[in-house]
Amino acid sequence: MSRRGFALKGGIVASGVSVMGSSLIAEPAQGVERLEFKPDGYNFWTWRGHRIHYVVQGEGFPIVLIHGFGASAFHWRYNIPELAKKYKVYAIDLLGFGWSDKALIEYDAMVWRDQVVDFLKEIVKEPAVVVGNSLGGFTALVAAAGLPEQVVGVALLNSAGQFGNANSKSNESEETLLQKAIVKPLKEIFQRIILGFLFWQAKQPARIESVLKSVYINSSNVDDYLVESITRPAADPNAGEVYYRLMTRFMLNQSKYTLDGVLSELSCPLLLLWGDLDPWVGPAKANRIKDFYPKTSLVNLKAGHCPHDEVPELANKALLDWLSGLTLEASPQSL
């Protein structure tokens, strides 16, 4: 998705062997246990001077859940309780999102990679499987590639990220004095005005609900809990500035890190849980990842961009089935 397209949509929630080679089709969750919503959050960890929010439940082999753009650990509300029956489940808020600090830094995919890698080293402290949706999917991939001795499996749900274009060439020329002195400042002022309005619009509850319903094929789970989990962090004092930096720096530089580049460094098993009806990230990307990386298992779900929340009973079952096939040995401290 283009940066402009993402901004206009509100930027609320953000891209081997087939499992039986078939799609899973069913109605949305009925009576699935849900994580309690806590307005003040659950647990906090200090990373590089910033408060990072995370949830932890259960005992056993560690599973780390990473949310998408604009979401938080609460987006795993229907997955944490079920997975925690068999595993020790962590769900982390990326820096700049959710209940984590809205740090005024230059955001880059490697910032979140470093955050997750350090979280694995300092909090989890043992081998783990990482699971990510949308932006969190790409973050899970780069973290796994950067910490192969600790990450023993990765699961992606409609992951962000792009494959490289072999025909593209960088023709960046040096900025002229006119560009530096006049054009860039004017462009930044214009961007701030436009993005300031878009952020104000994007954080309105009605707008958030509208965007969510556009990416949930069945919108039964687009409820007050989900909307509040997005609007509350958007009210943080620095949230607007973080949004501006994400849209002008991070979104503009996504092509610096490609899926094929990261997958080439990956060595562990990979699961793709893909909502085939996603209007943003369709099944073609999942098929391309599967073709590129031989250790891939693919499960197609009749859902949109957030299958873990739209059809949690199916996503939970598929993830648990895949986990049961991995060789996972929990260390004594996790038991």
Residue 150 has pLDDT above 90, yes or no: yes
| Burial zone of 194 (CB within 10 Å; 0-12 exposed, 13-18 middle, 19+ buried) | middle
Instruction: Specify which of 70-84, 250-264, 317-331 reaches the highest per-range mean pLDDT.
Output: 70-84
Give the pLDDT confidence score for residue 78 in this predicted structure.
98
Give the pLDDT confidence score for residue 21 in this predicted structure.
34
Residue scoring higher pLDDT (204 or 66)? 66
Give the pLDDT confidence score for residue 244 in this predicted structure.
82
User: What percent of the chain has pLDDT above 70?
Assistant: 76
Give the pLDDT confidence score for residue 233 in this predicted structure.
93
Give the pLDDT confidence score for residue 327 in this predicted structure.
83
Question: Residue 81's Cα: distance from chain center in Å?
Answer: 19
Alpha carbons 106 and 110: distance in angstroms, whole number: 11
Give the pLDDT confidence score for residue 174 in this predicted structure.
45
Q: Each residue of 45-65: b (16+ CB within 10 Å) or e?
A: bebeebebbbbbbbebbbbbb
Predicted TM-score (pTM) of the model is: 0.83
Give the pLDDT confidence score for residue 167 in this predicted structure.
56
- The residue length of the chain stands at 335
Give the pLDDT confidence score for residue 18 in this predicted structure.
30
Structure confidence at residue 154 as a pLDDT band (50, 70, 90)? very high
Give the pLDDT confidence score for residue 82 in this predicted structure.
97
Contact 106, 197 (CB under 8 A): no
Q: Look at residue 107 and give its three-state secondary structure.
A: coil
Single-letter residue type at 18: S
Alpha carbons 99 and 41: distance in angstroms, whole number: 7
pLDDT tens, position by position, 179-231? 444 445 545 665 656 655 565 456 688 888 998 999 999 999 999 999 999 99
Give the pLDDT confidence score for residue 272 in this predicted structure.
98
pLDDT tens, position by position, 78-108? 999 999 999 999 999 999 999 999 999 988 8
Mean pLDDT, rounded, of the chain: 83
